[in-house]
Amino acid sequence: MAERRLGEFEIIDMFRGRGGHRHDWVQHGIGDDCAVLDLGGERSLLVTTDLMVERVHYLRDAITPWQLGWKAMAVNISDIAAMGGTPRAAFAAAALQPGVDAAFLEGLRDGMLACADRYGVDLLGGDTSRAPQDGVLCLTLLGTAPRDRVLLRSGARPGDVAFLGGPVGLSAAGLWLLTQGAEQAGRLDPAHRDRLVKAHLEPQPQVELGLWLAERGLVTSMMDVSDGVLQDLGHICRASGVGALVAGEALPVDRALVQAGAIGCCEQPWRFALSGGEDYVLLFTAPADHQDALVAGARHELGIELIPFAWIEPEPGLRLFGADGIHSARPRGWDHFG
C-alpha cells in the first residue's frame, strides 16, 4: 500500500474516537476549541490544551522568555474565550534544555504569571522534564461557562454574518519582520513595527468580548483564529454544515499591515490577512438582523471595532468576493503537517 502522509486535521480525526463517550458528563468532546464537561451545576467546565514547540512555534532568539511565557498562557486562554467562557486555572508542563539558565526560567515564569494575573487565572500545577534538544511548553487551561450558554463552532446558519473581533494578519506580518523581513524592518514606521511584532509575540485573548457576546445571546457559532481566517471559517462551516461568501478585497486591513506590504511582506494585504495565522481574535456568526446592534454595542460598551467579513450560505465551501467576481477559495492557513 502506498504510504500516505496525513494532514494535521486528518490526524486529529484519527484521534476522535469511535463515537460515544464512556461518561455522560461529556457535553462536547473533540472538535471544538475546548471540551465541555457538565458537572451537574449551573456552570460547565471547559478544558483545553495547546503546545509551544521550539523551532516550530517559536525561535529562541526571536522571543524573550517573558514573551514566551505570556504567549503560551495567552493562546490557551484564547480557546476559553472562544467558547464564551471565563478562564480559571492553568497547568504548565515544560521540557527544558539541559543547562537552561535561571534568568530564562524567571522570565518565562513572570510572563506566564503576568498573563495569568491579567485574565484572573491561577497556576495550579504542571510537570517538568529535561528535553534532549528543543524546548516544549504545554499548557492546559480550565474555564467555566453557564451550562446552556457555551458557544460552539457548529451553530452557524444561512443568513448569518461572520465577524472578526479585530484586525487580522498582524501577527503573521510580525513574524515576517522577525524572520525573512528582518532587513526591511528598519524601513517601517517604528509604531507600526511594534504593533505588528507585539501582535505576534504578545497576543491579547478576547475574553471580555467572548463573555459579552455570550451574554447577548445572539451568537450562533464562535471560535478563535489560530490557523488563519479562511481555514478557521472553514472549520466553522464544516462543523455547521454550511458555506460562506467572504469579502475579499473589501476586508478592512490595518494600516500597519498595509505598510508592511509596501516594504515586501505581502503583495495583497487583504489576502495575507485572510490566511496569516496566530491572530487570536474571535471569529463568530450571528443573524444579519443583529449586525448593526452588535457592531454599535461592542464599539460603545467595549471600545472594540467588530469586522463583519463574510455571509453564511447553504452551499458548503468558501467563496471569495473580489473585484473580478466570485471565486471558490481554498481555505489556506496553517497545517502543521501540510
Q: Please report, to the nearest 10 degrees, the dihedral formed by the alpha carbons of residues 321, 235, 271, 281 taken in order.
A: 120
Based on the shown chain and the rule CB under 5 A, indicate whether residue 202 belongs to the binding site for Mg ion.
no
Based on the shown chain and the rule CB under 6 A, indicate whether residue 220 belongs to the binding site for ligand ADP.
no
Burial call 281-310: b when 16+ CB within 10 Å, e when fewer: bbbbbbeeebbeebbebbeeebebebbbbb
From the list ligand ADP, Mg ion, none, pick the one residue 30 interacts with, judged by a Cβ distance below 5 to 8 Å according to partner type.
ligand ADP
Candidate residues 32, 50, 54, 79; the one interacting with Mg ion per rule CB under 5 A: 79
Binding range to ligand ADP, per CB under 6 A, among 25-33, 145-153, 167-175, 318-326: 25-33
Considering only residues 32 to 51 of the shown chain, the ones binding Mg ion according to CB under 5 A are 33
**Residue 54 or 79 having the CB closest to Mg ion:** 79
Q: Please report, to the nearest 10 degrees, the dihedral formed by the alpha carbons of residues 273, 143, 21, 6 taken in order.
A: 30
Q: In whole angstroms, what separates CA 138 from the centre of its chain? A: 16
**Residues 6+ away with beta carbon under 8 Å from 54:** 60, 134, 135, 136
Closest Cα to residue 76, out of 65, 88, 64?
88
Based on the shown chain and the rule CB under 6 A, indicate whether residue 278 belongs to the binding site for ligand ADP.
no
Binding range to ligand ADP, per CB under 6 A, among 26-34, 100-108, 189-197, 302-310: 26-34
From the list ligand ADP, Mg ion, none, pick the one residue 31 interacts with, judged by a Cβ distance below 5 to 8 Å according to partner type.
ligand ADP
d(CA 269, CA 317): 23
- Backbone conformation region of residue 213, classed left if phi is above 0, alpha if psi is from -120 to 50, else beta: alpha
Based on the shown chain and the rule CB under 6 A, indicate whether residue 226 belongs to the binding site for ligand ADP.
yes
* Number of residues located near ligand ADP, criterion CB under 6 A: 9
Question: What mask, x for binding ligand ADP by CB under 6 A, covers residues 65 to 84?
Answer: --------------x-----
The residues that touch Mg ion, with contacts defined as CB under 5 A, are: 33, 79, 224
Site residues for ligand ADP per CB under 6 A: 12, 15, 30-33, 50, 79, 226
